[in-house]
Amino acid sequence: MICESCGDNSGKYNLCKKCYYLFKDGKLIKCEKCGKWHSPNSSCESSSIQSNDAQQSQKFIYNPKPSLITETEKGFYNVIKELIPDNYLLFPQINLAAVISKDDDSSHFQNELFRNIDFLITDSEFKPLIFIEINDSSHNSNQRKERDQKVHNICEEAGIPIITLWTSYGVNKEYIKKRIDTTLSELPIKRIAHSKPTENSQKTQKNSGGCYVATCVYGSYDCPQVWTLRRFRDFKLSKSFLGRLFIKTYYKISPKIVKLFGKQKWFKVFWKKRLDKMVFRLQKDGYENTPYYDR
pLDDT tens for each residue of 146-171: 778 888 888 988 999 999 998 888 89
Please indicate, yes or no, if residue 159 is contained in any of the structural domains. Answer: yes
Residue 123, domain extent: 68-195
Claim to verify: residue 72 and residue 191 sit in the same structural domain: yes
Claim to verify: residue 136 and residue 227 sit in the same structural domain: no
Strand partners, 134: 165
Where is mean pLDDT largest: 39-43, 84-88, 102-106, 136-140? 84-88
Please indicate, yes or no, if residue 285 is contained in any of the structural domains. Answer: yes
Range scoring the smallest mean pLDDT among 140-144, 176-180, 287-291? 140-144
pLDDT for residue 109: 46
Higher pLDDT, 13 or 295: 13
Q: How many CA atoms lie within 13 A of 128 on its CB side?
A: 21
Claim to verify: residue 128 and residue 176 sit in the same structural domain: yes
Range scoring the smallest mean pLDDT among 188-192, 220-224, 268-272, 280-284? 220-224
Domain's final residue, options 29, 44, 63: 63
pLDDT for residue 232: 92
Rounded to the nearest 5 percent, the helix, strand and coil shares of the chain are 50, 10, 40
DSSP helix/strand/coil, 31: coil
pLDDT for residue 74: 94
Claim to verify: residue 214 and residue 175 sit in the same structural domain: no
Please indicate, yes or no, if residue 218 is contained in any of the structural domains. Answer: yes
Q: Residue 47: which pLDDT band, with cuts at 50, 70 and 90?
A: low
Q: Does residue 78 have a pLDDT over 90?
A: yes
CA distance 261 to 258: 5
Where is mean pLDDT largest: 11-25, 51-65, 192-206? 11-25
Strands (E), 105-190: 116-122, 128-135, 162-166
Please indicate, yes or no, if residue 200 is contained in any of the structural domains. Answer: no
Please indicate, yes or no, if residue 201 is contained in any of the structural domains. Answer: no
pLDDT for residue 198: 39
Q: Residue 112: which pLDDT band, with cuts at 50, 70 and 90?
A: low
The full DSSP string for 56-92 is HHS--S----S-SS-HHHHHHHHHHHHHS-TT-EEEE
Q: Residue 194: which pLDDT band, with cuts at 50, 70 and 90?
A: low
Claim to verify: residue 169 and residue 83 sit in the same structural domain: yes
Angle between helices 71-83 and 173-185 (to 10 degrees): 50
Claim to verify: residue 40 and residue 111 sit in the same structural domain: no
**Overall domain count for the chain:** 3
C-alpha distance from residue 121 to each of 99, 124, 174 (Å) = 11, 10, 18
Claim to verify: residue 235 and residue 144 sit in the same structural domain: no
Please indicate, yes or no, if residue 290 is contained in any of the structural domains. Answer: yes
CA distance 243 to 228: 16
Domain's final residue, options 174, 195, 216: 195
